[in-house]
Amino acid sequence: MTGAIEQVLRFGIVGGAATAVHFAVASWSIMAGGSPHRANALAFAIAFLVSFVGHRRFTFGAVDTPLLGSVARFASIAMAAFVLNGAVFAILLEWAAVPVLVALAVAIGFAATFTFLAGRCWAFAAPEPMPAGPR
């Protein structure tokens, strides 16, 4: 397998793990009597951490990138992906009359593709070397 295909597969593994954590934490919290909205927020935060650490270390191998910068960029990507997902879903569902599950699958695909490309090219990209100063 080429490096790019392996990276996409690792992205899917990490994304799947983060989704499973999100679902498990939210379900457990709701079943324990917690507010569904608070449970979802807590689960999102924990899943974000799983996703960030997994993508930084396993998907992109970006342990040499500055941590705080990577966190800030990845958080920005996650928020943008959420907005993109909602926009694509709404457009397909409301304006194009696409069946709900098809619209959902397409919206998730758009958001996942955006997240992968933005993570690879921006959040976890190797820092550019500093130009040599005057000698």
Output the pTM of the full model: 0.79
Q: Could you give the 3-state DSSP secondary structure of residue 124?
A: coil
Question: To the nearest whole number, what is the mean pLDDT of the chain?
Answer: 89
Indicate the pLDDT class of residue 85, thresholds 50, 70 and 90. Answer: confident
- The rounded distance, in Å, linking the Cα atoms of 115 and 54 is 13
Question: Over 80: is that where the pLDDT of 129 sits?
Answer: no
Contacts 24+ apart (CB under 8 A), 28-34: none
Indicate the pLDDT class of residue 1, thresholds 50, 70 and 90. Answer: low
